[in-house]
Amino acid sequence: MCMATAVTYPVYKVFLEPYHLEYLRIVAFILIIALFVQLVEILLKRFMPPLYSALGVYLPLITTNCAVLGVTMLDIDNWDPSVSFGTSFGNALLYSIGAGLGFMLAMVL
């Protein structure tokens, strides 16, 4: 968590906030966290094969859960109604269904 914060904070303050790209923060944070999850997976596979085998599919699932968290946060975040569908329950559900189908397509491909 400390390493993720050490990377996400400067990314947000240097690249997103000055250019008014705050709406990309969740996407950027998900990508950074996914990078760290993959790094941990590579290190476990290299240096602790029994632990890597025991965890199995659970490490990649962390990245997927992070994406799900990002979508739900976008759904309830009312900072910009033109980007966030958190202004009504029906729109939030439609957005979540579309995002879920998109993530499923990405994982299948």
HEC per residue, the chain = CHHHHHHHHHHHHHHHCCCCCHHHHHHHHHHHHHHHHHHHHHHHHHHCHHHHHHHCCHHHHHHHHHHHHHHHHHHHCCCCCCCCCCCCHHHHHHHHHHHHHHHHHHHHC
Please report the pLDDT score of residue 81 as a whole number: 54
Please report the pLDDT score of residue 46 as a whole number: 94
Please report the pLDDT score of residue 14 as a whole number: 92
Please report the pLDDT score of residue 37 as a whole number: 84
Average pLDDT of the chain is 79
Q: What is the mean pLDDT of residues 18-46?
A: 87
More confident residue, 14 or 59: 14
pTM above 0.85, yes or no: no
